[in-house]
Amino acid sequence: MDSKNTLRCLCKQRETKELKVEGDLGADPIWCNRCNCNLEIEEVPISLDLKSELIHWMGKYGEWIDWDNDDEIVPNGIKFEDEHNKQGLELTNKLQKELGGDYVVIFSPSSFARRNACK
């Protein structure tokens, strides 16, 4: 059956209703939580507004990383990351609302800055 509301991925059942929002470089912000594949945000049945919010959010991923300096964190990096995680959680809630009860959406916060601050 090919319904418009079916999200296909690499899972055995080839459609997923378990999604994860996670920031990563050069990827789309929505993942299948079963097989960890990166889903095309274009295929996710949500509003354009929310899509662009998610893409914008993704574009800010890594602002706390100092790429020129061995991937150290920038000053106040933990604060940036916390803020980004807070927004990500809000977007996850919006996503869950738009997708409705058929889907389960979880948020996977970034912990790069925290991990690296403890070195």
Binding residues vs Zn ion (CB under 5 A): 9, 11, 16, 32, 34-35, 37
In angstroms, what is the minimal distance from the CB of 28 to Zn ion? 13
Minimum CB distance to Zn ion smaller for 18 or for 82: 18
In angstroms, what is the minimal distance from the CB of 40 to Zn ion? 12
Q: How many residues does the chain have?
A: 119
In angstroms, what is the minimal distance from the CB of 37 to Zn ion? 5
SS3 115: helix
Residue 1: count of CB within 10 angstroms of its CB: 4
Distance between first and last Cα of the chain: 51
Which residue lies nearest Zn ion, judged by its C-beta? 32
